[in-house]
Structure 1
Amino acid sequence: MWMGIDLGTQSVRAVLADDDGEILGSGSAPLTGRREGPLHEQLPGDWWTATAAAVRSALSGGHRPRALAICSTSGTVLLADGRGRALTPAVMYDDGRAPGRGPGRARLLLDAYGPGHIAHQADHIAARLAGRRLPTDSSHALKTGYDPEREVFDAPGVPVLPEVVRPGTLVGEVGREAEAATGIPAGTAIVAGMTDGCAAQIASGSLSVGSWNSVLGTTLVLKGVTAEPLRDPSGVVYSHRSPDGGWLPGGASNVGGGALRTAFPGADPAALDALARAHEPAGPIAYPLGARGERFPFRAPDATAFLLGEPASEAEHWAALLQGVALAERLCLDYLDLLGAPVDGPLAFTGGAARSAHWTGLRARVLGREVRVPLSSEPAVGMAVLAAYGAGAAGYGRDAATLAGTAARMVRPGTRVEGAGPDRFAGPYLTLVDELERRGWLPPQVASHAHTRTERRE
């Protein structure tokens, strides 16, 4: 039995899976935080309380894991003492008080609270489980300035950085104190995890060169597989190191479901989806950012959401937002193609939005290609797969030669959605591309490439 724990923004999720990927138990517990203007913080103690509740629920059927792995939001950091115990609140990945990625947030903590060890969200829970500070993984460390090619940190002004290991490495065992709190047996192996985007990619089974996974929830994350790191001079696309070699390039956009919740608080998405079917393509053109600034497929810290045209109804407004996310997703793939990435391989959809049949079909039609929706695509499932792989490599379970092989055994295939056909979205897409360029956010060469690919498709 293998456990995966996913530390999200709004909840902690835990699953227990067997060697063939059957989910034997699951649990979740909510999380809250403090948002005041650009500030976004959470309390590490709340993570632990929620983790214990989610894990106990997952274990309520009497099954027990042999190993576990943890994923968390990318770029969330805190200060910890020498044993891994939290000294400060956690600065969340989208906290806007510090420039740049994780290093800026780490310096913010050090300036505000003084000395301490930099720890990521997953590091803190792993330390609580083990009763001591453990190495971090290169995936979580990426946005704290870790260079996975040179295998060194490049984070000026951040003096106390953790030891780093490759994801899937056995780093410790659950201790007696944590057993009492969570129900996980002492001695259970702890395997170094990955960020939530990488975890979702593992859960999707998209681990062969040229395959991609699009994770759509509050935000949009695209991740794929290449034989070599993908070079992006702008730094918009970055590459994680795969647990068993190769590279996982990708990027994270601020468009996504968060913009829908802002525009329609308390709405019934299924009811609005049913009404939105009559508006395809939608007349108004939306760029539905959930927060100020954009980071993929272009970098524009001052970018804001916009809507071109006036919706005739709530249904058309909803349809425009759904379409806007899909158009942004298309632009992300065009940008990856511009960088030289193979983007025409298998494509999977995961994340909360994949539960919407209408939105999934719309996205497939906007992209003009077939997509897969795995049966169990949540990041916690990806961490269960990584735990099985890492434990096998360390002699704790079935021998797993590769992560892709372990995923092929454990990931259920799910459904296929066809999207090929006439490109009815070329007009809305190029209107959006031109508007992004006009505002000075989208570089001209990216806009030109989007036009070229659209012309080829037509």
Structure 2
Amino acid sequence: MTDENETAWLGIDLGTQSVRALAVTVDGTVLGQGSAPLGGRREGVRHEQDPERWWEAVRTASRSALLTLTGVRIGGLAVCGTSGTVLLTDAEGRPVSPALMYDDARAAAEAAGLREAGLAVQDTWALPKALWLAREYGGKGGRVTHQPDVVTARLTGGPVPTDSSHALKTGYDVERGAWPDVALDLPEVVLPGTRLGEVCAAAAEATGIPAGTPVIAGMTDGCAAQIAAGALRHGSWNSVLGTTLVLKGATPDPVRDPAGVVYNHRAPGGTWLPGGASSVGAGALPRDADPRGMDERAAAFEPSGTVAYPLVSRGERFPFLAPDATAFQLGTPADDADRWAGLLQGVAFAERLCLDYLHHLGAPLDGPLTLTGGAARSRYWNQLRADILGRPARIPEQTEPALGMAALALHGTTGTPLAEAAEHMVRIRTVVDPRPGRTALFAEPYARLVDELTSRGWLPAPIAAHAHSRLDRDTGRCSHPPRGAGNHDGAAPTDGTTP
């Protein structure tokens, strides 16, 4: 039963496979939750979704989340989406193109042209995809729009500004507050936490969210998960493991990366949120397997007889940039449990290499590490990751990006500092410590993977050397390489804040 005078904050997460909605009190109590599935179209490098399905799923998820909240006030809401997902809309904010998802790679030619013009973008980022969409669909209307903007426009009853977090991969310079000089119809940009408007009567009838509820500008799903992890104090890091892997931290200054692999979001209050998105993740696991049963059997293979780099799709974005990289597995697994073990360990090795790369760039890593995302439900995988990383890992009670959006809604509506709002809402379920001797046990296969990535020409030799130098250390050590050590050969110059 809920208190008649209680206030809940609504967070909505537009994920790859579903929409999630959480109604959360200021102390982190989840009063209601709902979800609805999403489907898409994948063909080779193509990955798109129908934007109209997002609104249908939001209607279902929101109604489910609010179904039993009789007498509870909804104080505000915020929406997050997948980073780099982009589409075109008309003057009324209605979609006129499919949405190109975060890993759609059809705009490789446009990305190459932008890089030649001096912009450090990756093939799957939103800016080249927006140019591709303008060429293919621009005759129907051309406003560049990010995934959450479609939903917030429907909630408020008209087009809204985008937030600087989702705009980052569309080329928005967060430090200068400016768009790049490109031939696109780009939206107005506001900071995350800005009030966009209120839920209109039509949206209230469709979703069950009360009319007049404040709608707050959100952040990307990776940033949302970071808020949900309470990882907003300087030196803190959050590793989000779902279909793919996203690692994000909190620092007083941007982390400068000459290769453009690490990019920097900006949180309300001025803290920088550097990080990167890898293409390895749980999406590489066989879908017809029983995860719990396979985890139990995989424990017999530590380390596995195979060394894997389990890419979900072609190309890698972090901890190195290699558009042509493909998944591989060295060695022959003894059975399907050994193969499963190799995939779990391979993701954790990639995670460690991300931390080694961040250390190479001089990023502070001495704060707590929090694990979130769907894979954090696996107790075995959490322990394995702590062992391979050689550092403790916090596991929150709720691992949903939607929780982060609830905290952002609280911040944007009441002015409560975001870090404080997150710490009030986040409940740490447990802390997983690495088991004695286990980190050293995985040093040899990790080094073998690093060497293989280097021999294939994907991982720069200076990064590999740095990873080797840290084999006997945990990944939380705070000693840094000399200033400028991140300037490895062949890297394109960048200011570290524009994608």
TM-score by length of 1: 0.96
Aligned to 2:412, the other structure's residue is in SS state helix
Q: Is the 8 A contact 2:91 2:143 kept in 1?
A: yes
The 5 A counterparts of 1:11-160 are: 11-61=18-68, 62=70, 63-99=72-108, 100=123, 101-114=125-138, 115-154=141-180, 156-157=182-183, 159-160=184-185
Q: Is the 8 A contact 2:86 2:130 kept in 1?
A: yes
Structure 2 counterpart of 1:274, one-letter code = E
Matched, 1:196 2:221: yes
Hey, what does 2:10 align to over in structure 1? 3
Cα distance in 2, alignment partners of residues 189 and 160 from structure 1: 27
Structure 2 counterpart of 1:312, one-letter code = A
Shift of 1:131: 0.8
Hey, what does 2:253 align to over in structure 1? 228
Cα distance in 1, alignment partners of residues 145 and 181 from structure 2: 14
Q: Is the 8 A contact 2:89 2:145 kept in 1?
A: yes
The 5 A counterparts of 1:2-401 are: 2-61=9-68, 62=70, 63-99=72-108, 100=123, 101-114=125-138, 115-154=141-180, 156-157=182-183, 159-260=184-285, 264-393=286-415, 400=416
Shift of 1:149: 0.6
Hey, what does 1:397 align to over in structure 2? none
Aligned to 1:152, the other structure's residue is in SS state coil
1:328-386 deviation digits (Å, cap 9, x = unpaired) = 10000000000000113200000011000000000000011111001112100000000
Shift of 1:214: 0.2
Shift of 1:128: 0.5
Cα distance in 2, alignment partners of residues 386 and 82 from structure 1: 28
Cα distance in 2, alignment partners of residues 84 and 281 from structure 1: 52
Q: Is the 8 A contact 1:212 1:223 kept in 2?
A: yes
Hey, what does 2:424 align to over in structure 1? 409
Shift of 1:155: 5.5
Q: Is the 8 A contact 1:212 1:346 kept in 2?
A: yes
Q: Which segments of 5 or more consecutive residues in structure 1 lack a partner in the other structure?
A: 394-399
Shift of 1:283: 1.8
Cα distance in 1, alignment partners of residues 137 and 102 from structure 2: 18
Shift of 1:64: 4.0
Cα distance in 1, alignment partners of residues 365 and 15 from structure 2: 28
Cα distance in 2, alignment partners of residues 344 and 445 from structure 1: 22
Shift of 1:420: 5.2
Q: CA RMSD in A?
A: 1.2
Cα distance in 2, alignment partners of residues 231 and 73 from structure 1: 23
Q: Which segments of 5 or more consecutive residues in structure 2 lack a partner in the other structure?
A: 1-7, 109-122, 476-499
Cα distance in 2, alignment partners of residues 284 and 45 from structure 1: 43
1:143-170 deviation digits (Å, cap 9, x = unpaired) = 111010111112623x211111110111
- Taking a change above 3 Å as real, the CA distance of residues 457 and 177 of structure 1, as seen in their structure-2 partners, is closer
Cα distance in 1, alignment partners of residues 340 and 451 from structure 2: 22
Aligned to 1:430, the other structure's residue is in SS state helix
Structure 2 counterpart of 1:311, one-letter code = P
Shift of 1:37: 2.3
Aligned to 1:404, the other structure's residue is in SS state helix
- Runs of 4+ residues over 6 Å off in structure 1: none
Shift of 1:83: 2.2
Cα distance in 1, alignment partners of residues 452 and 332 from structure 2: 16
**Alignment: residue pair count:** 447
Structure 2 counterpart of 1:273, one-letter code = D
Shift of 1:421: 2.7
Cα distance in 2, alignment partners of residues 226 and 128 from structure 1: 35
Hey, what does 1:452 align to over in structure 2? 469
Aligned to 2:358, the other structure's residue is in SS state helix
- Taking a change above 3 Å as real, the CA distance of residues 118 and 174 of structure 1, as seen in their structure-2 partners, is same
Q: Is the 8 A contact 1:144 1:155 kept in 2?
A: no
Cα distance in 2, alignment partners of residues 241 and 320 from structure 1: 36
Hey, what does 1:396 align to over in structure 2? none
TM-score by length of 2: 0.88
Cα distance in 1, alignment partners of residues 104 and 359 from structure 2: 30
Q: Is the 8 A contact 1:146 1:155 kept in 2?
A: no
Cα distance in 2, alignment partners of residues 325 and 249 from structure 1: 20
Q: Is the 8 A contact 1:145 1:155 kept in 2?
A: no
Structure 2 counterpart of 1:137, one-letter code = D
Hey, what does 2:459 align to over in structure 1? 442
1:40-68 deviation digits (Å, cap 9, x = unpaired) = 11111111000000000000013341200
Aligned to 2:469, the other structure's residue is in SS state helix
Shift of 1:281: 1.1
Q: Is the 8 A contact 1:103 1:155 kept in 2?
A: no
Cα distance in 1, alignment partners of residues 406 and 418 from structure 2: 12
Cα distance in 1, alignment partners of residues 435 and 264 from structure 2: 29
Matched, 1:424 2:446: no
